Amino acid sequence: MESYQIHQLEQMTGIKAHTIRIWEKRYGIIQPDRTDTNRRSYSEAQVRKLLNVSTLLSAGQKISKIASLSEDELNSLIEEQSDSNVADSICAGYINDLVKSMLDFNEPAFEKIFSAATTRLGIYDAMVNVIYPFLNKVGVLWNISRTAPIQEHFASCIIKRKLMSATDGLMPASKRNKKFLLFLPPDEWHEVGLLFANYMIRSKGYETIYLGQNVPIENVEKVIPAVRPKYLLLFYLNMRPVSEVEEQITQLSKADEKITMFVAGNPELFPVNKHKLKNTIFLTGASSLLNFL
């Protein structure tokens, strides 16, 4: 069974390590094991409990009340809270439930939570307010243990499948004169953002050509004359020299000077003098793409 150190617990739950220690002493809310060197060690069950505590705190519950609850009472209160009309607490609950089902590799539970979030909030708001924050929280797991990447892949594959299914259910493109070409450049593999962008663009009636992950720039150059897109959209997420990003964007712009390029991802990778790149728009989030559409 996986175990976690207190700084990892802090990252996953959003509760400060100092606060966790106080709650342990004052309320006995969880009782960690100790390593041979007397360091705190927490089980997955304790992680799940603190995720539930975090959900209830975000909904306005007091820690003194939460600490007095039995396990069954805590779970019942979580279920009641899911019916709350407070948007932030709803999203926090969905996020924590997704983390718990991911830790258990519980696909039916994960799909049920995803469906509940998208049904209640709609695809766009669910992605922005639940799925993206969930993926950010999961990001800390990459540094926790050798199993963390497997858990992240498990969750990402379900999300990608759901986005593909939602996109397939959209009406055929009505704006064929405004075609988008979407791809991830070399050494980029995280596809959720690109799939969401594809869904957003298609939902507004635009035609898209989706090339997927790790596409060589030279291949995109060859595709452009064949399909004649009006727009390109690509993501940069993995760390690399900013000069490499600028060089690739410049190379693509030469393939067709009339194309408008949308570049999204990690702002740290955006060129400092990005205003000098012709016909290139750097997106700061999903809302900036939506505003254009």
Residue that terminates a domain, selected from 136, 169, 202: 169
pLDDT given at position 81? 62
- pTM equals 0.70
Starting from the edge strand earliest in sequence, which strands make up the sheet with 206-210, in order?
206-210, 175-183, 231-236, 260-265, 280-282
Same domain, 155 and 244: no
The domain that holds 62 is classified in CATH as 1.10.1660.10
Mean local confidence (pLDDT), 169-191: 91
Residue 142 is predicted with a pLDDT of 44
Q: What's the pLDDT tens digit per position in 78-109?
A: 766 654 444 567 888 898 889 889 988 999 99
Which residue, of 148, 169, 190, is where some domain finishes? Answer: 169
Report the distance separating Cα 81 and Cα 85, nearest Å.
9
Same domain, 164 and 205: no
Q: Is there a single domain that holds both residue 176 and residue 243? A: yes
Residue 162 in this model has a pLDDT that exceeds 70: yes
pLDDT of residue 226: 93
The verdict on 184 and 209 lying in the same domain is: yes
Beta strand 260-265 with 231-236 is parallel
CATH number for the domain including 265?
3.40.50.280
Residues 175 and 262 in one domain: yes
Confidence of residue 51 (pLDDT cuts 50, 70, 90): confident
Bridge partners for 181 per DSSP: 209, 232
Q: What is the pLDDT of residue 2?
A: 63
Instruction: Please indicate, yes or no, whether residues 105 and 205 belong to a single structural domain of this protein.
Output: no
**CATH code for the domain in which residue 154 is found:** 1.10.1240.10
- Residue 180 tokens read as 């988008």
Domain carrying residue 254: 171-292
Regarding whether 151 and 51 lie in a shared domain, the answer is no
Residues 129 and 43 in one domain: no
Mean pLDDT score, 174-185: 90
Number of domains, the chain:
3
